[in-house]
Structure 1
C-alpha cells in the first residue's frame, strides 16, 4: 500500500511510513461504508450519540449510489443525504459554493454536517470534483471528507494527471479500485486513511479467541479492525504481481495509451457533424450521442425552432429514443460493447478504453460500427 501510495504521490500522512496507512478492501462500497462509520462515530463523540438522527452526509447528484447504501447500513437517516445538483455547463463538478450553501441551510435547521464524498471520475461521465476547494468548506465544519477515485485514481500515477487529486492532503480518506483500470482482477479496492485510529476505533473487535501477541504488541497491522469482516482474502498478492510484473513506467504507458485511444475516438466523433461529445473527456471514456438536429423527422409535426420549448422537449425525447436504439443495435451486433447513462435528461452513449489488449484498430472499428449503424437507422426515417 505504501508503494502504491508513493506512485500516486499521496502525502506521508496517508502511508505507513508516515502517520497513516492503507488497506485493501473488496469494493468501493466497503471503503465508503467503513469511512462513513468512522466519520459517524467521530462526530457523535463530539455531539453525543443522541444526535445521530441529525447527522447529514453530502455528495453530488453524480455521486455513486454506494454512499446512500452505506448510510442505510450505518443507520443514518436517508432523508439526511444531500445530493447536490451539478450542471452540464460546469462538466457536472460539485461546486464548493453549492456545498457551502447547502451546509449552511442544514446548520440553520439545527442539523449536523458530518461527511462528504467527493469523486474523481464519476461513474456517469468521469467528472472530477475539485478536492481543494471542497476540503476548505468541510474544514470549516469539522467534517470528514472521503475521495472516491474508484475509476480514475489509477490515472493519477501519471504525473500529467496527478493534478486531478490536488488537495488530497486535506482529506481524511482516499480510495481507488485496482480492479477497474489497474489490470487487477476483482475484487481489489485500495483505501488509505489519514488517521487509522479513527477507523479501528469504530471497527475493532476484541474477543478473547482473537487475541494474539503479534497484534497486541503492534508488530503487525491487524486488518480485521480496518474492515467489516474478520477474515479476508489474500488480495495483496494479485496487486503485488501487477506492480512487479509491469513496473511503474509500463503501467503509466498502458494508461497513457488508453487515454490516447479514447482521444482518438473523441476526434472521430467530432469529425462527424451528426454527433456530439456531450461532456469533456477527462480520461479514457468518451460520452457521445447523435444530435437531435441530425434526425430529419419532425416528431408530431412540431417544427423545431429556437424558443419553442415544447418542440425542443419533444426533439430531446425523440433523440433519446434514437440513441437508445442505436446502443442496443450496436451491442446486439456482437462486434463491440458500449454502455449508457442519462445526464440532464440526455441519453448518452459511453465508450471506455481500459483492456490490456485494446489497440487503436479496435477503436477505429468500434467507430465504424457506430457510423454504419447510424447510416442504416437514418435511412429508415
Structure 2
C-alpha cells in the first residue's frame, strides 16, 4: 500500500472508529448472529489476486460487524469488562505502525525501558512492596502459569527444568501440591495442568459465607498433605473471584504460606484496579507477604486487550525459570539491561507498554480514580435496588463492581418455589433480556444455585445505563407474569 492510500484509508478508519464509539450504544449489545452465519458469508478459498480496500472495508461493515458483540457498549454488563479508551486505541495504532518485537532491550530500547517505567508507576499507584518488579504479560492466565512455574522451580531448585518431572517423581518427596479456593479462576487449574502438577494435585479449599477462601481449611489441607507424603508447593489467593468478586484474606493466607515455605501468588485480575483508590487499598492488605501478583489493566483500567501487569518479588527466580540463551540472542549489553524475553513464556513480545503509558498520562491517577469510584457507586446503587425489590434477592456480598442476584418472586398460590424451578425461571429471565439486545448479562452458580451476574466496568457506563438494565430486568415477561400472579 502506497503512503497516499494508507493516509486516505487511515483517516477513514479513524473517523469510523470515532463514529463507532459515539454510536455504539445504538447497537444490540450481544451479536444476533447464529452459529455458522458469518462463515457462510465468507469464501472458502483465499483470493488469488489482491482486492481493493473499498471492498474489504465494505465486507467488514456488512459481514464482520453484525457478528460482533460490542464490549465497548455502555450496557455491556457480562463477564468482566475488557474496556477501552481513546488514548489506548491511538497508542495501539502507533504500536502497529512501529511493528516492534520487544523481546530484547536491543530490539527496541524504548519498549523495554518504557515498560520498566510504567510498571514502576503501577507499583506506586497500588502501593505494592518496593521489591516487586513488574513485567507486562498478555493475560492473567499466562501470569498465573508463570507464577506456578516459578513455584515449581524454586522448590525443586530448578531440577525439574533440567531433568523433567521424572526426576522429581522418582524421589521420595511426593507430588507437588497447589492450593486455591474452590472459587478460583479456571486458569489456575489450566496452569496446574500445563506446569505438570496435574488437576488432581490442585487442592480446592472451601470458602466462607462471603465466598472467600477459608484459611483454617487451607492450613488443614497443607498439614494433611504433608502427613500423606505430598509436597505443598504453592498457594493461589484471589482478590475478586470471577463469580462474585469475593476477596480472599491475604494476611492469614500469606502467614500460612510463610509458615510452610510455599510460594504465594495473588490473582487480582479485575479487582487490582480498585486498589488505586485509597479507600479500597485494604483489599490488598497482606500483599507484602506475596511472592507474585497480577492484575489486568485491560479489564478495568481503560487499556484495551491485552495488557496484564505481573509483579514478582524474585526476578532472579523468574528469569532463571524461563531463560534460554542461544547464540543468536546474545548481545554485548545483556549484563547491563533487562531483556524481558527471560521474564515469561513468549520470546516475541508486543510493545504493550505504549498504550498503558498513554492511558496513565492522559487520565492521570485522579482521572482513573474518578471513573473507578463511579462504577463502584453504581454497583452499590444497583445492590440497593435488588435488596428493596420483592422479586429479586442478592446471592453474594457486593464488595466491588459485580452484583450476583436472582429472580425470586413471592410465594405464588401459597407455595414455596424449589431450587430447580428458580433455576429455570432465572435461565428464562437471562435469555429474555439478552435476546432483547439492550443489555448483556451472564450467569454463574454459587453453592449450586443459578444466579445472574451484572458487572459495571465499561468506560462509558453511567447511571442511566444501569437504570436501563434494571428496567429491562423488571420489565422482562417472566417478571411481569410473576407480578400478575401467573407463575
Same fold (TM over 0.5): yes
Which residue number in structure 2 is paired with residue 206 of structure 1?
325
Q: Hey, what's the Cα distance between the residues in 1 that align with 2:431 and 2:296?
A: 28
Q: Give the TM-score, by structure 2 length.
A: 0.71
Q: Give the TM-score, by structure 1 length.
A: 0.91
Which residue number in structure 1 is paired with residue 441 of structure 2?
338
Q: CA RMSD in A?
A: 1.6
Q: Hey, what's the Cα distance between the residues in 2 that align with 1:321 and 1:125?
A: 21
SS of 1:122's equivalent in the other structure is coil
1:96 to 215, 240, 246: 215
Residue pair 1:295, 1:319 contacting (<8 A) in 2 also: no
Corresponding position: 1:65 with 2:182: no
Structure 1 residues 123-132 or 66-75, which shifts more? 66-75
Q: Hey, what's the Cα distance between the residues in 1 that align with 2:186 and 2:263?
A: 18
Which residue number in structure 2 is paired with residue 9 of structure 1?
127
Corresponding position: 1:240 with 2:357: yes
Corresponding position: 1:36 with 2:36: no
SS of 1:13's equivalent in the other structure is coil
Deviation at 1:325, TM superposition (A): 0.7
Q: Hey, what's the Cα distance between the residues in 2 that align with 1:51 and 1:232?
A: 32
Deviation at 1:51, TM superposition (A): 3.2
Which residue number in structure 1 is paired with residue 279 of structure 2?
160
SS of 2:445's equivalent in the other structure is strand
Which residue number in structure 1 is paired with residue 480 of structure 2?
376
Which residue number in structure 2 is paired with residue 18 of structure 1?
none
Count residues with an aligned counterpart. Answer: 357
Deviation at 1:98, TM superposition (A): 0.7
Q: Hey, what's the Cα distance between the residues in 1 that align with 2:332 and 2:145?
A: 29
Q: Hey, what's the Cα distance between the residues in 2 that align with 1:214 and 1:259?
A: 46
SS of 2:461's equivalent in the other structure is coil
Q: Hey, what's the Cα distance between the residues in 2 that align with 1:237 and 1:165?
A: 27
SS of 2:333's equivalent in the other structure is helix
Which residue number in structure 2 is paired with residue 250 of structure 1?
367
Deviation at 1:266, TM superposition (A): 1.0
Corresponding position: 1:224 with 2:336: no
Moved over 4 A (4+): 46-49
Q: Greater Rg, structure 1 or structure 2?
A: 2
Which residue number in structure 2 is paired with residue 309 of structure 1?
none
Which residue number in structure 2 is paired with residue 75 of structure 1?
196
Residue pair 1:138, 1:144 contacting (<8 A) in 2 also: yes
SS of 2:389's equivalent in the other structure is coil
SS of 1:213's equivalent in the other structure is coil
Corresponding position: 1:143 with 2:262: yes
Deviation at 1:294, TM superposition (A): 2.3
SS of 1:34's equivalent in the other structure is helix
Corresponding position: 1:296 with 2:412: yes
Q: Hey, what's the Cα distance between the residues in 1 that align with 2:403 and 2:229?
A: 43
CA offsets, 1:31-85, max 9 Å, x none? 0111111110110129986335610001011001101111111111321110112
Q: Hey, what's the Cα distance between the residues in 1 that align with 2:323 and 2:159?
A: 22
Deviation at 1:375, TM superposition (A): 3.3
Q: Hey, what's the Cα distance between the residues in 2 that align with 1:33 and 1:323?
A: 35
CA 1:242–1:295: 2 relative to 1, 3 Å = farther
Q: Hey, what's the Cα distance between the residues in 2 that align with 1:238 and 1:79?
A: 39
Which residue number in structure 1 is paired with residue 74 of structure 2?
none
CA offsets, 1:335-361, max 9 Å, x none? 111111001111111111111211111
CA offsets, 1:350-377, max 9 Å, x none? 1111112111111111101111114334
Residue pair 2:177, 2:234 contacting (<8 A) in 1 also: yes
CA 1:141–1:327: 2 relative to 1, 3 Å = same
Q: Hey, what's the Cα distance between the residues in 2 that align with 1:251 and 1:25?
A: 21
Deviation at 1:297, TM superposition (A): 6.0
Which residue number in structure 1 is paired with residue 36 of structure 2?
none
> Structure 2, unaligned stretches of length 5 or more?
1-118
CA offsets, 1:234-256, max 9 Å, x none? 00011111101100001001000
